[in-house]
Amino acid sequence: MIVRADTLEEDLELLTQQAGLTWQNPPTAPLPQSPALSEIYVTELEALTREDYAADYSNFGFKPLEF
């Protein structure tokens, strides 16, 4: 099963049910203390990553980051 960030809670709930367990809502995560990705993002690094991991980008439907 592929779990995606945009449907994470639903995907994990389904996975939990398939395993025969009872779903419990996850706790609320604290706000991040590190810099936002948009502050450290470099297009050249994404291009290199896309080149090295082309199969993953294709198979999993990864798209360029949008801020």
Residue 59, token pair as written in the block: 């198979």
The whole-number pLDDT of residue 37 equals: 86
pLDDT in tens, 26-42: 788 888 788 988 889 89
The whole-number pLDDT of residue 63 equals: 84
List of residues 6+ apart from 38 with CB closer than 8 A: 67
Question: Which class for 50: exposed (0-12), middle (13-18), buried (19 or more C-beta within 10 A)?
Answer: middle
The whole-number pLDDT of residue 31 equals: 84
pLDDT means per 10 residues in the chain (67 residues)? Answer: 90 94 87 86 90 93 83
- Tell me how far apart the alpha carbons of residues 1 and 52 are, in angstroms, rounded to a whole number: 24
Entry pTM = 0.42
